[in-house]
């Protein structure tokens, strides 16, 4: 590896043409840029790349909901000895649920085990999502003096499109407005979709929704959360 001794240009770092400069112990070293690897044609490798790409998109969609990002940030992943970003954690939790054909019903929006949230009605439309849930209960778990609101987070997985301008898979992520906590009555959430969400919704013919119910404080911080509910 050549070493630049007479550094009249300063300490070089980065790439110029096919030469990469690195700084080690105060000296600039020049190395040849690695040659691009040809895309693999092995069917198994192609499947792995597709699964990884889909897992990445899923993780970004979950991480884009601030309440879920906070939950994942505060939660350790068992068996991980090094720092991981929230996106890494989400991918690690869900990679086994990413299939060659899409996502299984077992995708998790949350890192651990939550309380049970039973939906009695789910309506998906191109302008809004409406979910009705049974009474939550769990008075021994949820402190209504601290956890004053419910929010419903949703990640909508879209696939199968005839429009070549859209990717093979896509996601819509959204969260409801705050609903006052009531443990004994049914809960209704109506989540409006944006104009861009509507375009994506209409572009795909297959849709699968994942939901989780979150309790929040007056400061809008998440406290407890439900298991993920899937609407195939």
pLDDT at 228: 98
* 207 contacts: CB under 8 Å, gap ≥ 6: 124, 156, 157, 158, 201
**Can you list the alpha helix ranges (DSSP code H) found in 27-108?**
43-63, 66-74, 86-94
Q: How far apart are CA 139 and CA 69, in angstroms?
A: 26
pTM: 0.80
Same domain, 27 and 106: no
Report yes or no on 37 lying in a domain: no
Q: Which two tokens stand for residue 146?
A: 């601290």
What pLDDT score was predicted for residue 40?
61
Nearest residue to 189 via CA among 126, 115, 127, 132: 132
Rounded average pLDDT per 10-residue block, the chain, 232 residues: 51 62 66 65 78 95 97 78 82 93 95 94 97 92 96 98 94 97 96 97 97 97 97 86
Residues 21 and 95 in one domain: no
Convert 81-118 to b/e letters by CB count within 10 Å (16 or more is b): eeeeebbbbbbbbbeeebeeebbeeebbbbbeebeebe
Shared domain check, 19 and 60: no
Q: Which helix (H) or strand (E) holds 201?
A: helix 195-203
Query: Measured at the alpha carbon of residue 71, what is the angle toward residues 84 and 104, in degrees to the nearest 5?
Result: 80
For residue 49, being part of any structural domain is answered with yes
Q: Is residue 38 one of the residues assigned to a domain?
A: no
Tokens of 148: 């004053």
17 shares its domain with 47: no
Average pLDDT in the chain: 88
How far is residue 180 from each of residues 69, 171, 227, measured CA to CA in Å? 22, 28, 20
- Could you tell me the residue range of the domain that residue 13 belongs to? 3-32
Report pLDDT digits (tens) over 39-79.
Answer: 566 777 777 888 999 999 999 999 999 999 999 999 876 55
Q: What is the pLDDT of residue 78?
A: 58
What is residue 85's three-state secondary structure?
Answer: coil
The 3-state DSSP class for residue 96 equals helix
């Amino acid at each position: 590896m050549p070493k630049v001794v007479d550094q009249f240009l300063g300490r070089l770092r980065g790439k110029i043409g096919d030469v990469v400069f690195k700084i080690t112990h105060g000296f600039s070293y020049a190395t040849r840029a690695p040659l691009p690897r040809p895309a693999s044609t092995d069917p198994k490798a192609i499947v792995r790349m597709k699964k990884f790409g889909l897992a990445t998109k899923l993780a970004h969609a979950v991480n884009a909901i601030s309440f879920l990002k906070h939950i994942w940030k505060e939660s350790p992943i068992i068996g991980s000895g090094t720092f991981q970003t929230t996106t890494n954690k989400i991918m690690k939790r869900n990679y086994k649920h990413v299939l060659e054909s899409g996502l299984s019903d077992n995708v998790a929006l949350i890192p651990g085990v939550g309380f049970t949230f039973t939906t009695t009605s789910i309506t998906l439309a191109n302008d809004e999502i409406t979910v009705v849930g049974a009474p939550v209960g769990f008075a021994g778990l949820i402190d209504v003096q601290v956890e004053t609101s419910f929010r419903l987070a949703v990640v909508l997985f879209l696939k199968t499109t005839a429009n070549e301008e859209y990717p093979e898979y896509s996601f819509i992520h959204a969260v409801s407005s705050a609903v006052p906590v009531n443990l004994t009555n049914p809960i209704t959430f109506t989540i409006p979709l944006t104009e861009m969400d509507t375009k994506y919704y209409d572009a795909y013919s297959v849709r699968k929704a994942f939901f989780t119910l979150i309790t929040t404080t007056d400061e809008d911080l998440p406290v407890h959360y439900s298991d993920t509910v899937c609407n195939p």
